[in-house]
């Protein structure tokens, strides 16, 4: 795990243009048939600036291919909301 993080950090430093999101990523997300595509924006994958949230990390790790993403990353926000509602009841 640490090795992956080191390699990713080196990639960002050495090849910053390759690691940044762009309009194509957002278009792919809006075209995807997943819950996150409904109101897609930069904040769908990012927390602050370039920092990635869980969904953004999963997207990056899947070589930017939604069909390769693991199920727990897709719909995570909706699942969390449902879980909260269940706890409140």
Question: Which range of residues forms the domain containing residue 81?
Answer: 22-88
Q: Rounded CA gap, 19 and 13, in Å? A: 9
Task: Tell whether the model's pLDDT for residue 16 goes beyond 50.
Answer: no
80 closest CA partner among 62, 56, 55: 55
Range among 11-15, 34-38, 74-78 with highest mean pLDDT value: 34-38
Is there a domain that residue 27 lies in? yes
pLDDT recorded at residue 70: 63
Task: Tell whether the model's pLDDT for residue 18 goes beyond 50.
Answer: no
Q: Rounded CA gap, 60 and 7, in Å? A: 13
20 closest CA partner among 55, 56, 54, 68: 56
Is there a domain that residue 8 lies in? no
Is there a domain that residue 17 lies in? no
- Number of domains forming the structure of the chain: 1
Per residue in 65-77, pLDDT (tens digit) is 877 776 666 666 6
Is there a domain that residue 78 lies in? yes
Tokens representing 39?
């109101």
């Amino acid at each position: 795990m640490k090795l992956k993080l080191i390699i990713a950090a080196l990639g960002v430093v050495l090849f910053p243009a390759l690691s940044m999101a762009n309009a194509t990523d957002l278009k792919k997300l809006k075209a995807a048939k997943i819950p996150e595509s409904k109101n897609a924006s930069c904040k769908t994958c990012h927390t602050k600036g370039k920092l990635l949230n869980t969904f953004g990390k999963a997207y990056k790790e899947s070589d930017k291919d939604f069909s390769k993403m693991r199920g727990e990353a897709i719909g995570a926000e909706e699942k969390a909301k449902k879980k909260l509602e269940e706890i409140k009841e």
